[in-house]
Amino acid sequence: MSIIKPFKALRPQVQLSKQVASRPYDVLNSKEAKVEAQGNPNSFLHITKSEIDLPETIDTHSAVVYEKAKENLTAFIKRDILFRESKECYYVYRLIMNGRSQTGLVCVSSVDDYENNIIKKHEFTRPEKEQDRINHIKTTGAQTGNVFLAYKNVEELDALIEKWMSTKNPVYDFTADDAIQHTIWLINDSKSIDAITEIFSVKVPATYIADGHHRAASAAKVRQSLGKEATNGANYFLTTLFPSSQLYIMDYNRVVKDLNGYSEQDFLNALNESFEVTLVGEEPVKPSQLHEFGMYLNGNWYKLIAKSGTYGTDPIGVLDVTILQNNVLSKLLNIQDPRTDTRIDFVGGIRGLQELSNRVDSKEMIVAFSLYPVSIGQLFDIADSGNVMPPKSTWFEPKLRDGLLTHLIDE
């Protein structure tokens, strides 16, 4: 069963919450982060993307970047932008995007659960991305990035959280510049805290990483590296747990730099072996069902429908990301490992299909593919089977904001 516990969050003063809250460190590059934090000295990006306060020539993975993050975090605390909760608490975090809401429980989850596969994974991680977060956590002593976990609904827990939201005032409630509303309630009542902890220990046999595989892996490796010096705080990592019925997965699309020596016509001809290919024209193709794909090439959109026999029926083989990988990326474009091949990039669905055509029209890329999103049921099936999805299979929206609730590993 699942082990979670309340924690003493490091969090912003109420009046500064909107200024502090920032988009997750891994959805922005350094230039985007610098623009976003411009004119806002209270932005948490000064901690999660501290290179924005250093010369642009700096290596973003150098020790000076992590030391700057620590310096900035210390300054935020000294300036009373952030304060430490006096008691271990749970937090309820509701996000509303385009009129649709989802509500999760912010807590710390057990590193033991992660290592024992009670917290289930569906993706491999990249060593260099792990190392970045390991260095950040060890230098700052803080887990600034939230791991987004899903669990199968428990009615008793749903009712408890709903009652708390309806009878208590939130500690934070603001709408960010991207029009997503963020509302957080503090659960500091000992009886409610004990009830929540017990529900997970009795009724939730597993949780599933929806977003944050690298953050979770990094937390585990930080504890391992600390050895006997690890504090109890390092035995846990920052998570927000959402019931599966509330989650929304968006498409996660691909762009590729070249056609691996194919001419445009030869590439289209080769696609016909595995797909029914239809020229659509300038209108973007957003797939409306499984095994349907959009493709943007040389100013035109095409609809691709996978032919029967080109995919399996097992939990991984049936995925559209697998179909595209096996029949196009690997077979035709010689992209064998999309995790490490620099010829491919990934575009989250939140950026829209226009981003795909922009990347191709700019000549940065030559072809783009839009995919139908993976379902939460598929994610659970694959994680339960012990398998992993191809990289960059899922994109969850809306995203939790960094800086609102941070876990310090010093106790």
Specify whether the CB–CB gap between 95 and 400 falls below 8 A: yes
Query: DSSP code of 272?
Result: T
pLDDT digits (tens, 9 = 90+) for 80-128: 999 999 999 999 999 999 899 999 999 999 999 999 999 998 777 778 8
pTM attached to this predicted model: 0.83
C-alpha separations of 22 from 9, 45, 178, 394, 402 in Å: 16, 6, 11, 21, 5
CA distance 48 to 61: 12
| Residue 238 host element (H or E) | strand 236-243
CA distance 90 to 99: 25
The better pLDDT of the pair 13, 399 is held by 13
CA distance 322 to 389: 8
> Is 374 a residue whose pLDDT tops 90?
no
Q: Which candidate, 60, 150, 78, 52, places its Cα nearest to that of 109?
A: 150
Q: For the chain, what percent of residues have pLDDT higher than 70?
A: 100
Specify whether the CB–CB gap between 68 and 51 falls below 8 A: yes
The domain made up of 252-372 has a fold known as 3.30.1760
Model confidence at 76, pLDDT cuts 50, 70, 90, reads: very high
Domain ranges of the chain: 4-247, 252-372
Measured in degrees and rounded to the nearest 5, phi and psi for residue 394 equal: -130, 145
pLDDT digits (tens, 9 = 90+) for 20-46: 999 999 888 999 999 999 999 999 999
CA distance 233 to 163: 30
Strands, E assignment, 361-403: 367-370, 395-396
Specify whether the CB–CB gap between 234 and 223 falls below 8 A: yes
> Chain-wide mean pLDDT for the chain?
93
Question: How wide is the angle at C-alpha 89 spanned by C-alphas 84 and 91, nearest 5°?
Answer: 100
b vs e for 312-338, b when ≥16 Cβ sit within 10 Å of the residue's Cβ? eeebbeebbbbbbbbbbbeebbebeeb
Residue 232, burial from CB neighbour count under 10 angstroms (0-12, 13-18, 19+): exposed
Residue with tokens 């150098």: 62
> Is 75 a residue whose pLDDT tops 90?
yes
C-alpha separations of 397 from 101, 192, 401 in Å: 11, 29, 11
Q: Which candidate, 338, 339, 355, 351, places its Cα nearest to that of 397?
A: 351
Q: Measured between alpha carbons, how far apart are the two ends of the chain, in Å?
A: 24
Radius of gyration of the chain from its Cα atoms, rounded to whole angstroms = 22
Would you state the structure tokens that stand for residue 1, as one six-digit string?
A: 């069963």
> Is 411 a residue whose pLDDT tops 80?
no
pLDDT score recorded for residue 195: 96
Task: Kindly report the number of other CB atoms within 10 A of residue 271's CB atom.
Answer: 20
Specify whether the CB–CB gap between 165 and 247 falls below 8 A: no
Would you state the structure tokens that stand for residue 182, as one six-digit string?
A: 């963020």
pLDDT score recorded for residue 4: 97
pLDDT digits (tens, 9 = 90+) for 163-178: 999 999 999 999 999 9
Would you state the structure tokens that stand for residue 293, as one six-digit string?
A: 């794909």
pLDDT digits (tens, 9 = 90+) for 311-357: 888 888 888 999 999 999 999 999 998 888 999 999 988 888 999 99
pLDDT digits (tens, 9 = 90+) for 196-253: 999 999 999 999 998 888 999 999 999 998 887 777 889 999 999 999 888 888 889 9
> Is 15 a residue whose pLDDT tops 80?
yes
Bridge-based pairing of strands 300-306 and 292-297 is antiparallel
Bridge-based pairing of strands 236-243 and 252-256 is unpaired
pLDDT score recorded for residue 278: 97
pLDDT digits (tens, 9 = 90+) for 271-311: 999 999 999 999 999 999 999 999 999 999 999 999 988 88
pLDDT score recorded for residue 313: 80
Q: Name the 3-class secondary structure at 270.
A: helix
